[in-house]
A and B are shown apart, each in its own frame.
Chain A
Amino acid sequence: MNKPKTILIIILILLAGNIFLGVKYFSVVKELRQTQTALQTQKTNEKVLEFSKLFIKEVLKAETEVNFDTRLKLETVVRNLGDEEILNQWQEFVDSKTESGAQEEVKNLLEMLVSKIEVK
């Protein structure tokens, strides 16, 4: 086989290889994005659940005053959610001035937390 033909074949093989790997790359990238989205959703769900658990355990079931450390922890967790709606609702609850107001805000907060959990 002469040299030009060999080179041509090698080029064709390399080209085919590139095309194959390119297609593969894009499919993998697409898959990665989907996975990242799913992972993000899962992480959010976990964070929301973590906060919900903490809120129920430390606030709703509290028999006495919630201490500073716990409130600090709650504030940290709620801010870690990175959800402005929840943060605002949380703030509304924290700033409640009356018992009935606090009860209303608790209901709203719990409703919001549950609605934030995405099930696919």
Chain B
Amino acid sequence: MRKKIPTKNIIFVLFLTFFISGFFAFPAGHVLASSTDGTVDSSDKYAWGENIGWLNFGTTEGNIHVTDSALTGYIWAENIGWISLNCSNDSPSSCGTVDYKVANDSEGTLSGYAWSENTGWINFNPTYGGVTINSSGEFLGYAWGENIGWIVFNCSTTNSCAAVGYKVKTDWRPRSARPACNNSSDDDGDGKTDYPADPGCSSLDDTDETDPAAAPSGGGGGGGGLPPEAYNPPITPEGGFKILINDDAAQTDSRKVTLTLKGGSNTKAVWISENSQFPEGFQVSYNSSLSQVSVSFDLSLGEGQKTIYAKFCTQWGRCSDVVSDSIVRVGETTVEKIEQVPQKIVEQIKKVPEAIAPLIPNFLKPKPQETAKPPEVPIEELVSKEAPLSFQGKWQLLPSEPIREFVLAPLPKEIRNLAQKFPELEKTLEEVGVSKITDIAKLKSVKLTLPGLTERVGLPTAKVEPGKFALPQGVPVAKLSPAIKQQLPTEIVFAKTGGELIDFNIDLSVTDKGEPQQKIATISGKPLQLVVKPDKPVKSVKGYLVFKSKTSQPTSLELPLNSLLASVIFANPVFAKTQDQPVRVEEKLVLLEFEYTDPDGDGIYTAEIQAPLIEGEYEIITVMDFDDPELGKKEIRLTTVVDPEGYIYEKDGDKETRIPGAIISLFWLNPETKQYELWPAKEYQQENPQTTDVRGTYSFLVPEGYYYLKAETPGYLIYDGKPFQVKEGSGIHINIELKTKYWWLKIVDWKTILLAVVIILLLYNFYRDKIRERLARSKNL
């Protein structure tokens, strides 16, 4: 049996269906309330970037919205410009190219990336960071910018609210924190979601979506169960439904306006839109207990007249007629003009405070505000849990190769060559642990002496013959045996003196560059025999004596009497170097050019020269011209410092007076008798004792041994010096001061005597006066 449905019921159901479906006719993405489509609070809108300063989430142009699925709009960062939160912001949308957004999981946990036009990606869910929105709508946590570091959203995150309070806050709420009728979910499973779609919801704040108890159905009717008042239209308030923009103001210069809504006693919601068809409108809840309600509204962009439409609805969806109000938006043009102010002018204006700042006295200036301390990100957040590659202990952080090269580099070639030619030197270097380039520094504080020719070829350095002074002496080259001549090191210039009987020992030192330097010392005017043995046959061996500098040699004058150390002499390396160019005589003062000769054809070339008379630094350059044209020429450089002769003097205040005619004797310690004896100078082509000339000078070139000097001359005390050691090849040229026998005459001069006489006469005069007074007094008495 079929029951006929009344026509009026069908009409009612159709009407109701049409009416209710109106709510669903809005776009799917449309949001119904601010807690589901939040904006950012007008005061709590700042986040802090550790490197970029403040970020404003609440600019009008940025238009940030927070929904259950994502964030849209732009952040304005004071130092890096706009940051887009969603690719859909871009015009045209860039999602086709790069699909990015800051996503929301509807419970306030944000993820994904924002894009900064100037600094790149910002991760909202980085390792050790992440951003959430709590049930109060406050952002918490950190985001990480690949190029700008951490961004903090809430001062409470870093416990820095005492210093500066800031946070980003929205009126969006996580789904779980919203009332059941405003949480975008079908809580009662009736296929309808939230207010007003779900009949179980009386308002957006209703916490229960469950439908009211269904009324007994009339059978088949969809509209059964609604109370009778559900069909009533909204009650019109006194004066009618009204919407006022900014209290009915005629114009505004801001996008943000305040709407005053006046509804009836059963008005529960108000639809608002700038379009009378409400295609993009939104609904606000209406508290009917109040006579009117004020809400904030953002006008559409652009200037001109703006009209806002509203319709007032009951909780059952019955709505009033559309009412509207208009306002003229002005000032946008002005704003545009300001925005277009040339940058130069803006910069000039910015400079004005700086320009006038010096003119303002300090006490008139406001106290400088304490700059807001950027919130510090906890250090634990900055250090990754996983050790970076450089900390994993897998790498050698200090490059070993350069260190090894430096530490273990062999000695310079010059020193190695020298050590090869002088086995004694090689042995010494080994013993003192000089084997690497880093050991060179040890040599700087060590005084090394290369052996003289006699010692090098293994001849005894002292010989004792009965009835004769046994002096250690060298052997002339001509007298050496062929076998010994064979042992002579090649390409080394040896220096001898005293008829080739005294060898000059060569002192070895090392320069700052690690190059070895050799030195010999002689005394002005003394003969000098040079010996060199070329490595290969030569056409000729030439020598040049050139002047280098008139270096003062203070040590030759100030040697202590008990020690005779060699003067400081600088010499160039004696190693033979291939001569690229002839001796550059134009750069040096060539004093003497001489030829080495080899009369006996034994391959050893000798030459005898006279040491220059003027003390200073000289260089003996020996050039070997080889037979083999491929070898060309080689030169050996040896710098010789010529010391002045010693002299005898008498001190007169600060001046020195040379003493001519003084007899100076040199005594030598005979190792055989252990007695000091007069040194036999004749054997060495010299005189002993010597008589000083008008310049008071004398000098001896002696073999090594222990000596002392004695000087005497009439009118002076005899000088008997202390013994001192002489190394072979060193000259004796000590300056000796003699004291006069009548030294006291120098203290008492005629002026002193005259003064003393005057004083004595004066005292005597006083004495006589006293006597006279006494006598006169006694007579009077």
Which residues of chain A have a CB within 8 Å of any CB of chain B?
A: 59-60, 62-68, 71-72, 75-76, 79, 93-97, 99, 102-103, 105-107
Within 8 A of A (CB), among B333-385: 379-380, 382-383, 385
Bound CA–CA A93/B397 (angstroms): 10
Which of the candidate stretches B241-249, B387-395, B429-437, B568-576 sits at the interface with the other chain?
B387-395
CB contact under 8 A between A66 and B387, given known A75-B379, A76-B379: yes
Bound CA–CA A65/B387 (angstroms): 7
Which residues of chain B have a CB within 8 Å of any CB of chain A?
A: 379-380, 382-383, 385, 387-393, 395-399
Bound CA–CA A93/B395 (angstroms): 12
Q: List 26 A-B contacts (CB under 8 A).
A: A59-B397, A62-B391, A65-B387, A65-B393, A66-B391, A66-B392, A68-B387, A71-B391, A72-B380, A72-B383, A75-B382, A75-B383, A79-B379, A94-B390, A94-B391, A96-B389, A96-B390, A97-B389, A102-B389, A102-B390, A103-B395, A103-B398, A103-B399, A105-B390, A106-B398, A107-B399
Residues in chain A near residue B395, CB distance under 8 A: 99, 102-103
CB contact under 8 A between A60 and B397, given known A65-B392, A68-B387, A71-B391: yes
Q: A-B contact count, CB below 8 Å? A: 55
Residues in chain B near residue A66, CB distance under 8 A: 387, 391-393
Q: Is the interface of A mostly helix, strand, loop or mixed?
A: helix
Residue of A72, A75, A95, A106 touching B397 (CB-CB under 8 A) = A106
Q: Is the interface of B mostly helix, strand, loop or mixed?
A: loop
Bound CA–CA A96/B391 (angstroms): 10
Residues in chain A near residue B379, CB distance under 8 A: 72, 75-76, 79
In the assembled complex, how far is the CB of residue A114 from the closest CB belonging to chain B, in whole angstroms? 15
CB-based nearest B residue for A100: B399
Residue of A79, A93, A97, A99 touching B396 (CB-CB under 8 A) = A99
Most chain B beta carbons < 10 A, residue from A68, A76, A107:
A68
Bound CA–CA A55/B399 (angstroms): 16
Q: Are B391 and A103 in contact (CB under 8 A)?
A: no
Bound CA–CA A68/B393 (angstroms): 13
Q: Are A93 and B380 in contact (CB under 8 A)?
A: no
In the assembled complex, how far is the CB of residue B751 from the closest CB belonging to chain A, in whole angstroms? 52
Residues in chain B near residue A62, CB distance under 8 A: 391, 393
Residues in chain B near residue A99, CB distance under 8 A: 395-396
Most chain A beta carbons < 10 A, residue from B391, B392, B395:
B391
CB contact under 8 A between A95 and B388, given known A60-B397, A64-B393, A103-B396: yes
Bound CA–CA A1/B392 (angstroms): 90
Residues in chain A near residue B391, CB distance under 8 A: 59, 62, 65-66, 71, 94
Bound CA–CA A99/B393 (angstroms): 11
Bound CA–CA A52/B391 (angstroms): 16
Residues in chain B near residue A63, CB distance under 8 A: 393
In the assembled complex, how far is the CB of residue B265 from the closest CB belonging to chain A, in whole angstroms? 64
Given contacts A59-B391, A66-B393, 13 further A-B contacts (CB under 8 A): A62-B391, A63-B393, A64-B393, A65-B387, A67-B387, A71-B383, A76-B379, A79-B379, A94-B390, A97-B389, A103-B397, A106-B397, A106-B398
Bound CA–CA A106/B399 (angstroms): 10
CB-based nearest A residue for B391: A66
Residue of B380, B388, B393, B399 touching A94 (CB-CB under 8 A) = B388
| A-B CB proximity, top 5 nearest | A66-B391, A99-B395, A102-B390, A65-B393, A96-B390
Q: Are B397 and A71 in contact (CB under 8 A)?
A: no
Residues in chain B near residue A106, CB distance under 8 A: 397-398
Most chain B beta carbons < 10 A, residue from A64, A95, A96, A97:
A96
Q: Are B387 and A71 in contact (CB under 8 A)?
A: yes
Residue of A65, A68, A95, A105 touching B383 (CB-CB under 8 A) = A68
Residues in chain B near residue A65, CB distance under 8 A: 387, 391-393
CB-based nearest B residue for A55: B397
Bound CA–CA A95/B393 (angstroms): 15
